[in-house]
Structure 1
Amino acid sequence: MYIHEKQLIQAGKSAAHASKAVVLLHGRGSSAPGILSLARHLQLDEALLLAPQATNNSWYPYSFLAPVADNQPALDSALALVDDAVAEATRAGIPTHAVYLVGFSQGACLALEYVARHAQPYGGVVAFTGGLIGESLNFGNYTGDFEGTPILITSGDNDPHVPLHRIEESATVLRDLGAAVITEIYPGKPHSISPDETLLANETIFGGNDRG
């Protein structure tokens, strides 16, 4: 049930005409087409869009704060799907420094976990309400050097799924790996993606910070 089938939806520019690739990771209960609709609110006109689909619409069964072993083998399978999407972009001729990752909620957690385990220069990362995965963080999993990759993490100040202490802990790990981390916490924001967040993502990640 929790070994993910390989499903990857492509949209946006064709690889031959794209200046960047964006991997979009949906939240629990959502879908690849659902997260692709977010692209209408982001400055992705020149991007190849790659959206993996989680089997049964969930990347892993329990909270991201559960012990990692409880979310296996789904978590490793999900991380492998993200790796496949990044590899698809590079096979298409888009260098990793022009690959971006965007996720919401469970997808945001997965995006941060993936890049922390594969730290290198990316175009940028946007985590709409997410943090690194595990009851406690295994710092031995996180290696490499982001070399200044911009990473934006946004959330509400009292989100029911993602506590602020994990966002702060995640930001520290990512900074230690060489990322330029921006966190923005919105008072009273519900568990959703607000227009303010997409505007901030455009300003900090997609507008004027194109590393491609």
Structure 2
Amino acid sequence: MHKFNLFTAGKKLEDAKKVLILLHGRGGSAEDIISLSGYLDVEEYALLAPQATNNTWYPYSFMAKPNENEPWLSSALDIVGEAVKVATNAGIPKEQIYFAGFSQGACLTLEYVTRNAAQYGGVAAFTGGLIGDKIYRDNYTGDFNGTKVFIGTSNPDPHVPVERVYATANILKEMKADVTEKVYENMGHTINQDEINTANSLIFGNNV
């Protein structure tokens, strides 16, 4: 299973009041996703980026039946939980813990926060949705209490159907998240400048 291998950047935890947990995509790395922070307004944040074993959080599509991605999926969720513990053990409250992920990392981000809904600092998911062949509503409990969530995606996207993005947004809204979703026609499987600008204005920019 995944070993807890955490990369850090930005402010030292003991000096930071806010933490951003970054989750890389399939085939990516912690260093890759940390480089995304250079485009985000997070200069005052401690950055925590766990590294997936073999650079992949779970083996199959996020749209596969959950048991087909086990035991890797549960292990990946545990790793995100360990990163959250690093922050909370350093005295950072959940209201000052932020999340961002791309592709497989965005799916894992959304799955973790929705299974563990609370008032977080904010969530930016660049091309992702809740995990499973369908949405298993019983997996998701808690109250986001107005946490701001941004989900950006392409239509079409080769990995993430736009219908799953909308369904994911609806679940989060039910759970009291303040969700903004943006769909970009034929963007491709990438992150564009408008997504960066939107994440900064909605999630990060007013909080530095």
TM-score bracket, normalised by the shorter chain, equals over 0.9
Which secondary structure does the structure 1 equivalent of 2:87 belong to? Answer: helix
Correspondence list, 1:14-163, <5 A = 14-163=12-161
| Superposition misfits of 4+ residues, deviation over 3 angstroms | none
- In structure 2, stretches of 5+ residues that fail to align are none
Question: How many pairs are equivalent?
Answer: 208
Q: Is the CA contact 1:109–1:131 (under 8 Å) kept in the aligned structure 2? A: yes
Provide the C-alpha distance between the structure 2 equivalents of 1:100 and 1:79, rounded to a whole number of angstroms.
Answer: 16
Letter in 1 for 2:188: P
State the shift of 1:103 in Å.
0.3
Provide the C-alpha distance between the structure 2 equivalents of 1:207 and 1:24, rounded to a whole number of angstroms.
Answer: 17
State the shift of 1:138 in Å.
1.1
Provide the C-alpha distance between the structure 1 equivalents of 2:24 and 2:79, rounded to a whole number of angstroms.
Answer: 13
**What corresponds to 2:171 in structure 1?**
173
State the shift of 1:86 in Å.
0.6
Provide the C-alpha distance between the structure 2 equivalents of 1:166 and 1:127, rounded to a whole number of angstroms.
Answer: 13
- TM-score (structure 2 length as normaliser): 0.98
- In structure 1, stretches of 5+ residues that fail to align are none
Letter in 2 for 1:177: M
Provide the C-alpha distance between the structure 1 equivalents of 2:17 and 2:8, rounded to a whole number of angstroms.
Answer: 15
Provide the C-alpha distance between the structure 2 equivalents of 1:75 and 1:16, rounded to a whole number of angstroms.
Answer: 31
- TM-score (structure 1 length as normaliser): 0.97
State the shift of 1:186 in Å.
0.8
State the shift of 1:151 in Å.
0.4
